[in-house]
Amino acid sequence: MKLELKNIHKSFGDKQVLKGISFSAESGKAFGLLGRNGAGKTTTIRILMDVFGANDGEIFIDGSHIDYTKIKTGYLPEERGLYPKKKIIDQLIYFAELNGMKRQEAVKSIDYWLERLGMAEYRGKRLDTLSKGNQQKIQLVTALAHNPDIVILDEPFSGLDPVNAMILKDVVKEEIANGKIVLFSSHQMNYIEEFCDSIAILNSGKIVLQGDIYKIKHNYVRDKLVVRSEDADAIRNALGSCCVKTDEKELLIRLTSAEEKQKMMKQLTEAYDIDEIKVFEPSLNDIFVEYAKEQY
């Protein structure tokens, strides 16, 4: 199954929130939707979930317009919250029924998920008697219990301890393996790198970067060198402003072009005592900061 968003525009009043968003995600793969606060992620998710319509643009599933009576979506919102004073099982059934399940199959599925997440003992308890992390696991059940085709997880790992994070990782991997389209939104780049094959970075309502993570990283202009040396200070003095000290013995050297790198490497290894020298490859974090920083 392939989900495609094409040229989505959305304005609230005079404020243009989305200025032509297009991306596609495939089943069996996770897609990372990145962006700073206010970049338009939540609006994109809400349009995708049919909370409100877009002013322009279309959403397709396998080439035809999305039909919400057939395609089910599951959502873990960033702002968590259910009914604090109600019994967990009651509200889980309520949400599963709202998402189109029959009561009996809802109970069966919820019990499976509670068991899977180690929450079965809390079934009949009130939500506000649970810790924050456990409440979050309950919220996860509302996103998964009705067996959705598209799973949207907004900051799923925030507030979870390492053990719970492990459980969630397994669950997410399982969902991906089960052929779901998993949409990920997070500021924790290590998780994005771990799960997502491709990403899109949103900035001020536009997609400023998208594609396969590996390719993005590899295609990144290779015009910087990382140098580790006992003579770091001497090198810096010699090269001047194109050289930045990133650590006690580490330097980042910006070259005028990528072709320069071979020559510079040779020069440096001949002139100084070099422990390590390599072409700089940005982490996803670096890429995110670079693309999300400037407001377009």
Partner 1 sequence: MKQFGTIFKFELKNYLKNKIFAGVTVFLVAVIAVVMFFPSIMDAINGDEAQSEDGKEIEAVEITGIMLLGTNGVENGEEIRQSFGEAFLEYEVLLSEDDPDVIKEKVTSGEAECAFVLNSPTSYTYYVNNLSMYDMNTEIADELLKTMYGQNAMVNGGMSPEEARDILAVQIEHETESLGKDQMQNFFYTYIMIFALYMVILLYGQMVATNVATEKSSRAMELLITSAKPVSMMFGKVIASCLAGFIQILVVFGSAILFYNLNQSSWEGNMIIASIFDMPPELLVYMLVFFVLGFLIYAFMFGAIGSMASKLEDINTSVMPVTLLFIAGFIVVMMSMSSGDVDSLLMRICSYVPFTSPMAMFTRIAMSTVPLYEVAVSIIILIGTVIAIGVAAAKIYRVGVLLYGTTPKIGSIIKAMRKA
Among the listed ranges 45-53, 115-123, 177-185, 275-283, the one in contact with partner 1 (CB under 8 A) is: 45-53
Q: Which of 44, 73, 134, 136 is the binder for partner 1 (CB under 8 A)?
A: 73
Phi, psi of 105 (to 5 degrees): -70, -30
Cβ-contact 5, 22 below 8 angstroms: yes
Residue 231 CB, nearest approach to partner 1 (Å): 55
**Does residue 97 interact with partner 1 by CB under 8 A?**
yes
Among the listed ranges 69-77, 196-204, 269-277, 279-287, the one in contact with partner 1 (CB under 8 A) is: 69-77
Residue 113 CB, nearest approach to partner 1 (Å): 15
**Does residue 139 interact with partner 1 by CB under 8 A?**
yes
Tokens 């390590």 correspond to what residue? 276
**Does residue 20 interact with partner 1 by CB under 8 A?**
no
**Does residue 211 interact with partner 1 by CB under 8 A?**
no
Please give the residues from 151 up to 190 whose contact with partner 1 meets the rule CB under 8 A.
none
Q: Which of 82, 209, 239, 264 is the binder for partner 1 (CB under 8 A)?
A: 82
Tell me the C-alpha distance between 31 and 150, whole Å: 11
Torsion angle, CA of 192/141/97/151, rounded to 10 degrees?
10
Among the listed ranges 21-29, 59-67, 90-98, 186-194, the one in contact with partner 1 (CB under 8 A) is: 90-98
**Does residue 134 interact with partner 1 by CB under 8 A?**
no
User: Which of residues 133 and 211 has its CB atom nearest to partner 1 in the complex?
Assistant: 133
Q: Which of 77, 159, 217, 254 is the binder for partner 1 (CB under 8 A)?
A: 77
Among the listed ranges 44-52, 213-221, 238-246, 279-287, the one in contact with partner 1 (CB under 8 A) is: 44-52
Q: How many residues bind partner 1 (CB under 8 A)?
A: 22
Site of interaction with partner 1 (CB under 8 A): 13, 46, 49, 51-52, 73, 75, 77, 79-84, 94-95, 97-100, 139, 142
